[in-house]
A and B are shown apart, each in its own frame.
Chain A
Amino acid sequence: MGLSSTRAAELLARDGPNALSPPKQTPEIIKFLKQMVGGFSILLWIGAFLCWIAYGIQYSNNMSSSLDSVYLGAVLVLVVILTGIFAYYQEAKSTNIMSSFSKMIPQQALVIRDSEKKILPAEQLVVGDIVEIKGGDQIPADIRVLSCQGCRVDNSSLTGESEPQSRSSEFTHENPLETKNICFYSTTCLEGTATGMVINTGDRTVIGHIASLASGVGNEKTPIAIEIEHFVHIVAGVAISIGVLFFIIAVSMKYHVLDSIIFLIGIIVANVPEGLLATVTVTLSLTAKRMAKKNCLVKNLEAVETLGSTSIICSDKTGTLTQNRMTVAHLWFDHQIFMADTSENQSNQVFDQSSGTWASLSKVITLCNRAEFKPGQESVPIMKKVVVGDASETALLKFSEVILGDVMQIRKRNRKVAEIPFNSTNKFQLSIHETEDPGDRRFLLVMKGAPERILERCSTIMVHGQEQPLDESAAQAFHTAYMELGGLGERVLGFCHLYLPADKFPETYVFDTDAMNFPTSNLCFVGLLSMIDPPRSTVPDAVTKCRGAGIKVIMVTGDHPITAKAIAKSVGIISANSETVEDIANRLNIAVEQVNKWDAKAAVVTGMELKDMSPDQLDEILATYSEIVFARTSPQQKLIIVEGCQRQDAVVAVTGDGVNDSPALKKADIGIAMGIAGSDAAKNAADMVLLDDNFASIVTGVEEGRLIFDNLKKTIAYTLTKNIAELCPFLIYIIVGLPLPIGTITILFIDLGTDIIPSIALAYEKAESDIMNRKPRHKKKDRLVNMPLAVYSYLHIGLMQALGAFLVYFTVYAQEGFLPSSLINLRVEWEKDDVNDLEDSYGQEWTRYQRQYLEWTGYTAFFVGIMVQQIADLIIRKTRRNSIFQQGLFRNKVIWVGIASQIIIALILCYGLGSVTALSFTTLRPQYWFVAVPHAILIWVYDEMRKLFIRLYPGSWWDKNMYY
């Protein structure tokens, strides 16, 4: 039977392995090249080529022209390549985290080949293989069932139907998705066994089609990518327009075209924050690491921020908001409803356990239960133990184990003599036991099942341990309790028992479960017990936080509306005092149509209703209600909901685990896959993976995302500031003709040397205020780089910095003999190689080299001037609104590492490399390091003043123009 190994090998060679082909990856080289030309790189390439062109022109005029511009071009290219490699490396690193994660334990399949049963990796299955499946297995391929016994499969990841589906070998429907004789790849077999023939493998399976559809949905730009692009455009625009403007000015001032090109390069280099994009990458990956620690694994670095700007979260219910296990929530006995502890460890069961009814009820719960702990888990906490049995029996088992202790022992003491398992026609489960009391020879019959069916079989009810006749009022009490518990969305079970009289049923009596030779009516009703998949204990807080943060949480679930609504209420997605239209109608006792729907804040929409809705109606619902639950939805409808939210201009986060959630995950601004319950396809499609499947982790992610946005703003403001201090020298040089205050190479040492670590350090800054108390940022209005930021950085602090740096420059020149007034229009003479007796303000004469050296000292001085003021800039950028003293000067230690790094790098450049003339640094007198300090202090004081006025007069003209 089965295929022969050789035939199977042939087919395997023809069809390829039975695995979903991973989504198409961009080739590494393309990714690398993209880094090389992205962002500012283009500007630097232009700069480099201009350098070489300038050299070419020089060379054709004069063979012995200096190689300076060739070197500069080479340095610029080097900068581009290095930052490119760096960014690429960072990207690759974060991708690697993900790919290591997605490597799953290979799936095994039981195959019949060469008439032998073999266990093979599922990848090696081919069409025509005969496979055997039993409960708990994942279906290894699309399979046509040949024979089966009580086989039921969970197709929820494919069709969204959460009910188990029975399978049989009969062909029942034209549509492969509907017919009963096909099991689908990646779905699971819940119970029973089946033998089937593989009909499709790999990408040709139904799930493969869906997965390839999902990868067809294009990857959209993340909000932060848009912001950075916007920022690059602004800076590049400034650079090019100033560059071209001064090129024209230079040419019309009768400068040589060649010189003008050199100026242009200088202006571009001064304007481009070369290190910034690398810094942004590092900052994002730092945050990604921090989020990974909090169980949010970010696949795409930029998604870090996207989460922060999220305004709607469409969350699954099961497993994300809830614990994904049935738990006893309420009990009803003695005409009273008791609450059980539904927290994760259930350690705190406080209901009244003294009543005799409870003793009976607990016995029924314990005995009428087929679930068992898997052996060998003695040291595992009860709640974590693995149980063989269905969800509600598991819940009951654990419930009784927690309260009563060793259930297995109790069952042993009360030996089971007969049993009728639950079936859908009886809707009850029954078992008969000997009692543990040796003096009591009676058998105990225990029964549980659907409450109304149980009640039908009872004639008495136990109250306070006493059997009482089940009269009208008791029945009424039962119905009230049943309705109430049912209204909470809980699954309710009824329990009853009966002590069989010893005279009729002696010890030797043989119970026959088929003939039912024992009473199953006139039993004694003991109590009700209701179960629910309870919310995770952290979720209500997280939802409240979301509310406070202006994020709308929408629940999307395949569950029953009542259950969905109950959970939504218990976690706060529907808040305590808000009502749905139906609630209002109930309360006022009027028809649903008569209710003014503006009165309702909440809405529960079912998949059926959604199906009949036009996009406009959906939009209206999304806009009208602040609290929405979608119940009984299919995963396909999730996509519709996501699109609806996006039409509201919202940034939408979507959670999902199933394969057919993947289109919605892709479509969402940020798709969040579940790490534990999620399928590979979902994880592939998602931008983020939630390692603990917990909704609360999303909220911490949001917090991190918002923080990173704020901190990036600070980083960019910090970095942009010095651009003016770097740019002014060139402008002054061109217009006033001073000897060049700062060289291009020196600028690169600031941008890529002293400034790098401080700008990364800002990523470690704590939030200024509770960032979860403000609205999500508006995609189009709250830009990363806005007008006030640019203006304040460029025209306020930047200008102060330029002045401070010029002060150091003028000091150096004046103390060496060139007073400021003598420098004006000195440029031409200064730079002539054949002028070796240039007179200074005191009548001394300087050779070209002596002047050159002084010029380098000037560069160094200007560099140090900027560096010193960048320290002040770094400190003021710690906050945007609060005073530095509110924020704490020493709370962020990394800032001080940054400041130390700045100083150390500058010291090394100045004193360590002072003799390397190629770098144009010289040994600077120590006192020049302090010349710019007053300006640095001024910057600090000015910024404190700015913040003070912003805090004092919120919303004022000052606030509008000065808050970035």
Chain B
Amino acid sequence: MVIQKEKKSCGQVVEEWKEFVWNPRTHQFMGRTGTSWAFILLFYLVFYGFLTAMFSLTMWVMLQTVSDHTPKYQDRLATPGLMIRPKTENLDVIVNVSDTESWDQHVQKLNKFLEPYNDSIQAQKNDVCRPGRYYEQPDNGVLNYPKRACQFNRTQLGNCSGIGDPTHYGYSTGQPCVFIKMNRVINFYAGANQSMNVTCAGKRPQHHRNKGKPTPEDGRDEDAENLGNFVMFPANGNIDLMYFPYYGKKFHVNYTQPLVAVKFLNVTPNVEVNVECRINAANIATDDERDKFAGRVAFKLRINKT
């Protein structure tokens, strides 16, 4: 059949709309009468009320399966990631030595970040633990919390502690400190009872390199030369076992995350240097192809000097 598109004049369309919005003949507003609207609103009120209740109930049931102190599953966190401080955009640590503003924000952030590490606070809240072994606080059938945490004193960071430091963590002199921290993972026994440390090296991003296990030779490339010397605090970039395991935010209230500070002493100025730090621990793999931050962290360092 021929579909005759009836051409409606503009006025008719407006008229139809008007009638749709309010039809005085049938007392219909938007195609429904008042009672119909009341019914429909009431229905949806009840219906959605019920759905909300149902959803809340199922959510509540679901949350009962989740414990307060440990997540049910940790399969994604088998390998803790590494991260640097100061936290910068794209992990580019760019320091214009002459331009105070360029590094001042980093310094502010670091000051804030390191404040809980102040020796006084640590002494007040945390225990002195025996180094070289895990600080285990098992529940033994009875919930035992809050758990105690071991002291990590700011002074352990030596020249990078920033205490009474006129060079502002070395940023004003072009010898910046970068702090390496390992991601917290609950009940993770990092190092598998063996000592572990963080090492850093200059190297290009992975896609420029041959795949496979990094070898010491890699350090000999351009980035390594530009990187120059650095010192680490605590010495050798050691992370002590006593800071593990972590028992979670709720139980391990004053937990202090161990840090490794790296002070770069003579970075070639005005050049972008790729740095990669990785943790050497028996139970932490650092060669995940997909996760570039598993057991390692890569960042760019650039010291601009005029």
Contacts and interface: CB of A to CB of B under 8 A. Distances in A.
Interface in A226-261: 226
B116 to A, nearest CB: 14
B89 interface: yes
A957 B65 CA distance: 42
B76 A843 contact: no
A842 B245 CA distance: 14
A623 B251 CA distance: 85
B169 interface: no
B71 interface: yes
Nearest to B71: A817
Nearest to B291: A849
A931 B55 CA distance: 12
Nearest to A787: B31
B17 interface: no
User: In the complex, which of the residues B76, B246, B294 has the most CB atoms of chain A within 10 Å of its own CB atom?
Assistant: B76
Contacts of B43: 961
Given A845-B80, A847-B81, A847-B293, A815 B73 contact: yes
A621 interface: no
Nearest to A957: B39
A136 interface: no
Contacts of B2: 218, 220
B291 A847 contact: yes
Interface stretch (A10-18, A446-454, A796-804): A796-804
Interface stretch (A176-184, A370-378, A724-732, A832-840): A832-840
Interface in A920-950: 925, 931, 934-935, 938
B246 A850 contact: no
Contacts of A226: 3
B186 interface: yes
A8 B255 CA distance: 107
B72 A815 contact: yes
Given A836-B81, A849-B292, A853-B76, A220 B62 contact: no
Nearest to B58: A807
B252 A843 contact: yes
A848 interface: yes
Contact of B71 (A221, A816, A835): A816
Interface in B57-111: 58-59, 62-63, 65-66, 69-77, 80-83, 87-91
A820 B56 CA distance: 12
A846 interface: yes
A844 B71 contact: yes
A166 interface: no
Interface residues of B, number: 54
Given A842-B70, A842-B186, A843-B184, A811 B3 contact: no
| Interface size band for A | 35 or more
B81 A669 contact: no
Nearest to B246: A843
Given A807-B59, A847-B291, A800 B51 contact: yes
Contacts of B1: 220, 646, 651-652, 669
A836 B90 CA distance: 11
A223 to B, nearest CB: 9
Contacts of B269: none
Nearest to B299: A834
A810 B62 contact: yes
B121 interface: no
Contacts of A837: 81, 83, 181, 183
Interface string B286-303: 001011111001000000
Nearest to A217: B2
User: In the complex, which of the residues B44, B83, B250 has the most CB atoms of chain A within 10 Å of its own CB atom?
Assistant: B83
B81 A842 contact: no
B301 to A, nearest CB: 15
B81 to A, nearest CB: 3
Nearest to A803: B55
A842 B69 contact: yes
B249 interface: yes
A854 interface: yes
Contacts of A845: 80-81, 83, 183-185
B294 A796 contact: no
A70 interface: no
Nearest to A935: B58
Interface string A815-833: 1110110000000000001
A112 B3 CA distance: 52
Given A800-B51, A817-B74, A834-B89, A843 B297 contact: no
Interface in A142-168: none
A418 interface: no
A814 interface: yes
Nearest to A851: B76
B266 interface: no
Contacts of A425: none
Contacts of B246: 843-844
14 contacts: A218-B2, A220-B3, A807-B55, A835-B87, A836-B82, A840-B71, A841-B71, A844-B185, A844-B246, A844-B248, A847-B81, A849-B293, A917-B290, A961-B40
Given A843-B249, A844-B185, A850-B81, 7 more contacts: A651-B1, A807-B62, A810-B62, A837-B81, A840-B71, A842-B69, A931-B62
Q: What are the nearest 8 A-B pairs in CB distance?
A: A843-B249, A847-B81, A845-B183, A849-B291, A817-B71, A815-B72, A837-B83, A847-B293
